[in-house]
Amino acid sequence: MTDTGLKGKVAIVGAADTEVGILPGITPMELCVEAALAALADAGINKGSIDGLVTCNAMAQPLMYHAEAFAEYLQIFPRYCINVGAGGGTTFSILHHAASAIATGMADTILIVMADSLRSGLSREQAMLIQSSTGHPQFEQPYGPTVPAYYALIAQAHMAQFGTTAEQFAEIAVAARAHAALNPAAQKRDPITVADVVNSRLIADPLHLLDCSLVSDGGSAIIMTSAERAADFPHQPVYLLGVGEGHSHEHISQAHDLTTSAAREAGERAYKMAGLGANDMDFAQLYDCFTPTVLVELEDLGFCAKGEGGEFAASGALRPGGALPVNTHGGLLSHCHPGNPGSMFALTESVWQLRHTAGERQVADAQHALVHAQGGIMSSHTTLILGREVH
């Protein structure tokens, strides 16, 4: 395929989230089913129209053949059926795979569905075990790093290299909360200030509690089909205009650069495919497991120069009505973070924004969006560029 191979070839025609937050008594599989049925209803099709299925496993309910188990539960019989795991980057690497499957004829209409119950489905011991199993088992884990600690290493390096401050990181959390305040579905909606963030307790220097994302339950689903078929669906199709990936390492101690990530390559590949640039984006949804993640992504995806992310965030650009609204649903920091499915909510939000049905938080006349996710410790990156029209 050429650089523009997938441009405009597929579109998202259905999108739905379950309720998110603290949802005891419902399993991840049940959340998947609920999300899938709602996405089917949104797309105006029945389950028999789905001939491709992509899921990811749930930490609270790990299954050997997750996608097959979901298909069995729902009684669908796809001809393309896989379970993908790429941590926080899973959602968008799945979308890349699914788009390729449609373009090559492996499937016509694909359901992407994922859910997890990190908040209610894991005991504290299980949650800590998962956390302590992150990192290289021989050469990192023995030193007792936590997940926030890995990202703190990146933040600390950025501060030393570019003079970035804790207050600048904090502004990213403040902007996310300001968006969440406009979103009735968000888990945390009470406004916060920079002072609230930097005065919350330190978890791993320089990260404070409010620099860290939520722990949530929730599920989400989208339905994707070819651009030709998309015209027959009830809603404005949201086209995939560009997609690119970048993969630089797994373990943070092996990263060749702490302050520049493979988001740069992912973004360059996606922009090239779309024939668009950072200035063409009306909003961006950037993976925000911790505030420094967003700051590095802003730089690597070309929204500001390397080293200027702190200043860019502090300008208020990311807030509702700002120059570049970021995470318009509230993100992992304030909307919800159920683990690997986390970025699904950034995707469904982007669909509603580009349909112009996002209500009070609608970005005026939004035409193009960049959505980016990463998994590991800034390891595995996928950038998507979505739009209302194929140019």
Partner 1 sequence: MNKTLPPMSDLAEPYFAGARDGQLRLQQCRSCQQYQFYPRTICAHCSGGELDWTTASGDGVIASFTVVRRAVSEAYDAPYVVALIDLAEGPRMMSALVDVDPESVAIGQPVTVAFTEWSETISMPVFNVV
In the complex, the residues that contact partner 1 under the rule CB under 8 A are 128, 131-132, 135-146, 148-149, 152-154, 156-157, 160, 201-207, 251-254, 258
Of the candidates 107, 379, 55, the one whose C-alpha atom is nearest the C-alpha of residue 247 is 379
Shortest distance (Å) from residue 207 CB to partner 1: 8
Whichever of 5 and 137 has its CB closer to partner 1, that residue is 137
Rounded-to-integer distance, Cα 93 and Cα 84, Å: 8
DSSP, collapsed to helix, strand or coil, labels residue 380 as: strand
Shortest distance (Å) from residue 288 CB to partner 1: 19
Whichever of 144 and 321 has its CB closer to partner 1, that residue is 144
Whichever of 42 and 211 has its CB closer to partner 1, that residue is 211
Whichever of 2 and 124 has its CB closer to partner 1, that residue is 124
Of the candidates 245, 281, 338, the one whose C-alpha atom is nearest the C-alpha of residue 21 is 338
Shortest distance (Å) from residue 154 CB to partner 1: 7
Of the candidates 7, 2, 31, the one whose C-alpha atom is nearest the C-alpha of residue 216 is 31
Rounded-to-integer distance, Cα 75 and Cα 78, Å: 10
Shortest distance (Å) from residue 155 CB to partner 1: 8
Shortest distance (Å) from residue 124 CB to partner 1: 11
302: left (phi over 0), alpha (psi -120 to 50) or beta: left
Classify residue 355 by its DSSP letter.
H
Q: What are phi and psi of 242, to 5 degrees?
A: -155, 150
Shortest distance (Å) from residue 311 CB to partner 1: 21
Whichever of 104 and 254 has its CB closer to partner 1, that residue is 254
Cα 160 to Cα 185, 310, 339, 377, distances in angstroms: 38, 13, 30, 19
Whichever of 204 and 210 has its CB closer to partner 1, that residue is 204
DSSP, collapsed to helix, strand or coil, labels residue 135 as: coil
Whichever of 49 and 165 has its CB closer to partner 1, that residue is 165
Indicate the length of the chain as a whole number: 391
What does R_g of the chain's alpha carbons equal in angstroms?
A: 19
Shortest distance (Å) from residue 30 CB to partner 1: 31
